[in-house]
Amino acid sequence: MASSISAVIVMWVVAMAAAAAASSQTWIEGEALRRSTWWRSYNTTTGHCNWPGISCNAGGSVTEIWAVPTQENGLLTQFNFSSFPNLVRLNFSSLGLNGDIPHQIGTLTKLTHLDLSHNFLSGELPLSLTNLTKLVELNLGYNHISGQIPSEIGNLRNLVGLVLDCNYLNGVIPSSLGQLTRLTSLYIGWNQMEGSIPPEIWSLKSLVDIYFDHNILTGVIPSSVGNLTNLTSLHLASNQITGSIPSEIGSLKKLVDLALDNNKLVGVIPKELGNCHSLRYLSMKFNRLNGSIPSEIGGLVALRKLDLSVNNISGTIPLQFQNFNSLEYLDLSYNYLEGYVPFELHLPSLFRAFEHNKGLCGDTKFGIPPCRKRNRITIIIIVVICLCSALLISSIIFGVLLIWRRKTRKLQPEEATTTQNGDIFSIWDYDGKIAYEDIIEATEDFDIKYCIGTGGYGSVYRAKLTNGKEVALKKLHTLESQNPTYMKSFTNEVRVLSKIRHRNIVKLYGFCLHKRCMFLVYEYMERGSLHCVLSDEIEALEFDWIKRVNVVKSIANALSYMHNDCIPPLLHRDISSGNILLDSEFRAVVSDFGTARLLDPDSSNQTLLAGTYGYVAPELAYTMVVTEKCDVYSFGVLTLEIMMGKHPRELVTILSTSSSQNIMLVDILDPRLAPHIDPEVIDNVVLIIRLALKCINLNPTSRPTMQHVCKEFETCTPFPIPFHAISLGQSKDQEV
């Protein structure tokens, strides 16, 4: 009996001790929560298990924490991790936390889910993280974490999801990741990882998502990629991966997204890709792929985006492409394709989807010429005629020019205005439909009421021709025609614009070179200059963020075309808001090529100073040597002007003389527009500001090329800092 009583007493004492310990532990946890500052407004009477963001077990010990953002969020070190031995889930995402991840986090040995993403955490990954062997999900993405990924990460054998993207991690991808056999999601994109992808990665058969894009990874894609039969997303874009695309990639029959763009891949597109019937996103642009497009690609009926641009692909577009019913985006530009375009699609992207190829033809709505059906005999006849004509062309042209010179010497101005069809040597047009008489009639001999402004030289008139087409006329006045400077600009503009065609460069329809009446005929842009739009309060409001982003991209595309696709390169030398024209839909074109010049590779390219004050690259003042980087500087100033709504002269001065860390990006944007920007547009706005700051670098060699600028627009991704927290200093320092 006595022994039974003793046993009961012992059990009671143990229970009381356990209860006291549990009570003590819950008190410790409550105090730790209050001292973290996130729950300081709560008192002990309510019980911390009832506080927002807190969950407890039956014993009152904290098992889950997800903090609610407050203005007091700051250092992660203010949280005492060791006070929560039973913690299973911890979510401190998007709290604006900064500082290092404390080593004490390794004491949370029961933790299965840890999310510290979308903060400002810095420093290196603490080795103690690898003690959390029960972790199933680890998300540290979108921070400022640097250093290497520790090889001990292979200890986390229960990991299903590992997210480390959008940081500053460097070094190689540890081969120990191959030990994480349960891993389904692996995100290490947007870091500075280098070296080749460890072969152990291609043995993780549970993987569903791989995001290694935007690093410095090298090596090849091995045939063992075919082992990952559960893979739905494979993103290796923007690295330095070489070699060919293995045919084994066709084994990934669950694949939905495949991004291999912006690498150094060579060889042909494997026809086995046609086995990936779930594929919706396929991008291989900016590589060195060759050969033809396999017809099997046309069997990917679920495809929504296909981008094979900027490669060396040749041959014809497969007829099977007509099977694309879900396609939303297509780009096959900058290749060597030829033949018929087999499409009956109506996509906005198709306007430029086929440009810069060898010889495509089809529907003119694609921006390509119509196909002409010719039989073999007709083709032979045409070839014979061309060969015979070539022998006579040089002598005929010479004779015609002599006749023309004699004719124009005798022709009086009155006779020129009454010529029925105009003088073909004086009034010229791409489609041959504009005659001198039409211009005189439409403007009532350049009556002042048709004048809509004055340019760098002469006046600008608006005219509606008999065929219904509206044109703009830049007329050189009689006195100005006697000025050698104006004459040189006039003839230079004719020379340049008659040789180039681009959607974002003003179209020259015709010109008159008569000594007593000289004018240029352009496409009419309803809204006039960008400078006028930004100066008008009503139009500036209509000129919203989406339209401004598109205008910047259009200008960049035009300059990239001039610098890279024209041989020799063409420099504008006067990029300013006054020389950008907008139509009724805010489509932008670059105009005024009076000071443009070809870049001579065999010359010093030394020149007289040209351009508009406030846009001229500073090095021109002392070197007088013009390069593409002069246009890049002007583009940077103009881009800031578009986003700020005014010329950035004060900001440019500040950026060149002092720190910009305290200037917030949101504070420099045009205040006339609503401060709220659509989330889908924010990333573009941030990227545009970042690129503009790079473009106005005082050192020309540090400025990007316009081709690089356009390339960055194609791969726009979220900035790893919340929009309202970005300073110009952070924008300027972030690599682009």
Residue 298 has, within 13 A of its CA and on its CB side, a CA count of 14
Query: What tokens appear for 650 in the block?
Result: 């004060």
User: Taking Cα atoms as reference points, which of 567, 592, 424, 573 lies closest to residue 506?
Assistant: 592
62-66 and 54-56: which strand pairing?
antiparallel
Give the Cα separation of 193 and 164 in Å (integer).
Answer: 11
Residue 526 has, within 13 A of its CA and on its CB side, a CA count of 7
Q: Which of 257, 261, 331, 574 is catalytic?
A: 574
Give the Cα separation of 107 and 103 in Å (integer).
Answer: 8
Is 719 within 8 Å of 726 (Cβ atoms)? yes
Is 181 within 8 Å of 157 (Cβ atoms)? yes
**Angle, vertex CA 551, rays to CA 549 and CA 555, nearest 5:** 120
| Amino acid residing at 172 | V
**Angle, vertex CA 249, rays to CA 247 and CA 255, nearest 5:** 150
Does the annotation list 474 as a binding residue? yes
Torsion on CA atoms 415, 418, 419, 424, rounded to nearest 10: 80
Which secondary-structure segment (H or E) carries 631?
helix 628-644
Give the Cα separation of 216 and 561 in Å (integer).
Answer: 28
**Angle, vertex CA 284, rays to CA 294 and CA 267, nearest 5:** 60
Buried b (16+ CB within 10 A) or exposed e, 336-349: ebeeebebebeeee
Give the Cα separation of 137 and 160 in Å (integer).
Answer: 6
Is 287 within 8 Å of 309 (Cβ atoms)? no
Decide if 423 is catalytic.
Answer: no
Q: From the CA atom positions of the chain, what is the Rg in Å? A: 33
| Amino acid residing at 614 | G
**Angle, vertex CA 115, rays to CA 114 and CA 117, nearest 5:** 150
User: Taking Cα atoms as reference points, which of 112, 83, 59, 38 lies closest to residue 51?
Assistant: 38
**Cα end-to-end distance, the chain, whole Å:** 83
User: Taking Cα atoms as reference points, which of 279, 328, 341, 337 lies closest to residue 308?
Assistant: 337
Catalytic residues: 574
Binding residues, as ranges, are 474
Binding residues for ATP, as ranges, are 474
